[in-house]
Amino acid sequence: MASAASNDTDILKNAKKVLAPDYVPNEDEEYMNERQQHYFRVLLIEWKRSIHSAADQTLQSLQDGPIREADLNDRASSETDWGIELRTRDRQRKLISKIDSALRRIDAGEYGYCEVTGDPIGLKRLIARPVATMTVEAQEAHERREKVSRDD
């Protein structure tokens, strides 16, 4: 069974390793120049490829056969592991749609700018979370409004 431990962060780290190690976008460059856009496009495509690869491994493990643990405790543990694995894959399936959206924003010239304020999101945030659509401040405000709505 594929390990649920290979989460989004690990997959993103692996995707970054594939990129040219001699270039990382920096604040001294013009924001979202062609080189930065290329960097993020390759990063997003590699991230998506890595997620698909992990999903294929999970699918192969599922096709290899059912859980055949003789001991009830072992079987329960295996079923719990599978449940976690499948939830992880579902989260990653949703992440793929965010990656596709980010790739469309790159094509449209909108990538890297907050969808709420229109301000630059910032390279550090995009390097940490390439699918980000809001600045940290806009995201925090959004989460506060969301929390207030839930509390009502």
The predicted structure's pLDDT at residue 19? 63
The predicted structure's pLDDT at residue 22? 72
Helix (H, G, I), strand (E, B) or coil at 59: helix
Phi, psi of 59 (to 5 degrees): -60, -45
Query: Does the 8-151 domain belong in CATH 1.20.120.910?
Result: yes
**Beta-carbon count within 10 A of 145 CB:** 10
Q: For residue range 136-151, list pLDDT tens digits in order.
A: 999 999 999 888 777 6
pLDDT beyond 60 at 79: yes
What's the whole-number mean pLDDT along residues 19-47? Answer: 88
What's the whole-number mean pLDDT along residues 23-38? Answer: 91
* pTM above threshold 0.85: no
Phi, psi of 120 (to 5 degrees): -60, 135
In whole numbers, what is the pLDDT of the chain averaged over residues? 83
**CA-CA distances (angstroms) from residue 14 to 11, 65, 82, 90?**
5, 29, 23, 20
Q: Are 106 and 40 in contact (CB under 8 A)?
A: yes
